[in-house]
């Protein structure tokens, strides 16, 4: 039994893979990860930029689409939908055997729509209707403009992965959007699912940089602690919210938990253990989506121990100490959200440009 399987069976945390490549689907590598204990899959524009730009596996379908008169952007979405559809089939047995808890594949709406509520909703509806699978998550950024879109999509019975969360305050708004969306929907709620993706290592990198600027021994002593502490307190909020009478009422109608999902869990600082953001965030009713390198590291030398809720008090002290030094975590979150949206937009634009160049090459 692998550590990934034990992580789920003994500690109630679902390990997901944060990557997707057509080569992996066809070579059996993705199935190999599933056999090792992976229970879901996430993708984003940066992942598809790398996958499509670095491989010839997409060329035949891409050329066919272009020759059929599709635009570059239309062809891109068809390439994405093909990969997502095949991944959905590979993970369907897990979805079925877990009664809809796991086995999900996430695909993100056009990142250029992150500040446009109506356009985000239209894009989410289109992708959800096109792919039409019970184990599909549509990824919507948890921006201010994304919150009403999330609520509306849930009320329409669509399953959503809320991405790009960097603060507990915004996470609380996401929980509210999920519950409100469920409350707006009539009848049985058991076919709706959601996760809330809390980004971990990006927060650490930004806070550590600000601690380095302060440079005192107290500041340096706090490096490498903020991201885990914030994740742990997000979990505390989750536990509080699912203990309310409001949630209990929704549960009687079949509502599924919106599980916290730890994203951006590869360590960016080589001085930190490569499994830090797995080892320190283990607990029930959660998901951790890991790049393949971090998955391999955890399989090799990860630590299996319940850590997510061992010391909420200590986590609170860490965040209070960071803010006492003049670091505004709300400002950190706002900056990271802007940078996160921009990074996905850039990946999307870069990929479209790569495809334009590829179209010229393949036609000659």
pLDDT value for 45: 85
Distance of alpha carbon 345 from alpha carbon 156, whole angstroms: 27
How many residues are listed for the chain in this entry? 364
**Lowest mean pLDDT across 58-62, 188-192, 208-212, 288-292:** 58-62
Percentage of residues of the chain with pLDDT beyond 90:
90
Q: What is the mean pLDDT of the chain?
A: 95
Respond yes or no: is residue 139 known to be catalytic.
Answer: yes
- Tens of pLDDT, residue by residue over 41-86, are 999 888 888 888 888 999 999 889 999 999 999 999 999 999 999 9
pLDDT value for 321: 97
User: Which residue is it, tokens 């570059």?
Assistant: 72
Mean pLDDT, residues 210-220: 96
Binning pLDDT at 50, 70 and 90, where does residue 364 land? Answer: low
Binning pLDDT at 50, 70 and 90, where does residue 242 land? Answer: very high
Question: What domains does the chain contain, in order, with CATH numbers?
Answer: 3-201+227-304+333-363 (3.20.20.70)
pTM of the model: 0.95
pLDDT surpasses 80 at 363: no
- Tens of pLDDT, residue by residue over 300-356, are 999 999 999 999 999 999 999 999 999 999 999 999 999 999 998 998 899 899 889
Torsion over CA: 156, 107, 6, 298 (sign)? negative
Which residues, 6+ apart, have CB-to-CB distance to 224 below 8 Å?
204, 208, 269, 271, 272, 276
Of the residues 139, 223, 268, 285, which is catalytic?
Answer: 139
pLDDT value for 351: 87
Mean pLDDT, residues 22-46: 95
């Amino acid at each position: 039994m692998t550590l990934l399987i034990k992580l789920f069976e003994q500690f109630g945390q679902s390990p997901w893979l944060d990557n997707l490549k057509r080569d992996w689907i066809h070579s059996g590598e993705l199935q190999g990860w599933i056999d090792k204990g992976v229970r879901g899959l996430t993708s984003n524009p940066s992942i598809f930029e790398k996958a499509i730009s670095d491989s010839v596996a997409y060329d035949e379908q891409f050329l066919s689409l272009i020759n059929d008169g599709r635009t570059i952007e239309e062809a891109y979405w068809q390439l994405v939908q093909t990969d997502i559809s095949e991944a959905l089939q590979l993970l369907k047995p897990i979805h079925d055997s877990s009664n809809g808890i796991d086995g999900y594949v996430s695909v993100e709406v056009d990142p250029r729509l992150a500040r446009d509520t109506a356009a985000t909703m239209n894009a989410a509806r289109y992708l959800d209707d096109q792919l039409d699978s019970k184990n599909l998550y549509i990824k919507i950024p948890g921006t201010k403009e994304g919150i009403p879109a999330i609520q509306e999509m849930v009320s329409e019975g669509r399953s959503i992965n809320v991405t790009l969360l960097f603060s507990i305050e915004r996470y609380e708004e996401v929980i509210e959007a999920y519950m409100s969306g469920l409350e707006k929907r009539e009848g049985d709620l058991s076919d709706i699912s959601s996760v809330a993706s809390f980004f971990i290592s990006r927060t650490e990198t930004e806070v550590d940089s600000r601690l380095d600027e302060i440079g005192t021994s107290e500041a340096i002593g706090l490096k490498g602690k903020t991201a885990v502490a914030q994740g742990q307190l997000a979990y505390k909020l989750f536990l509080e919210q699912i203990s309310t009478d409001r949630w209990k009422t929704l549960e009687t109608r079949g509502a599924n938990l919106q599980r916290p999902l730890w994203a951006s869990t590869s360590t960016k600082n080589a001085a930190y253990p490569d499994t830090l953001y797995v080892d320190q965030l283990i607990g029930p009713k959660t998901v951790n989506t890991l790049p393949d390198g971090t998955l391999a590291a955890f399989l090799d030398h990860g630590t299996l121990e319940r850590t997510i809720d061992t010391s909420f008090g200590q986590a609170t002290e860490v965040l209070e100490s960071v803010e006492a030094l003049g670091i505004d975590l709300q400002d950190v979150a706002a900056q990271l959200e802007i940078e996160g949206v921009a990074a996905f937009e850039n990946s999307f634009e870069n990929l479209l440009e790569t495809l334009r160049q590829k179209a010229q090459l393949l036609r000659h």
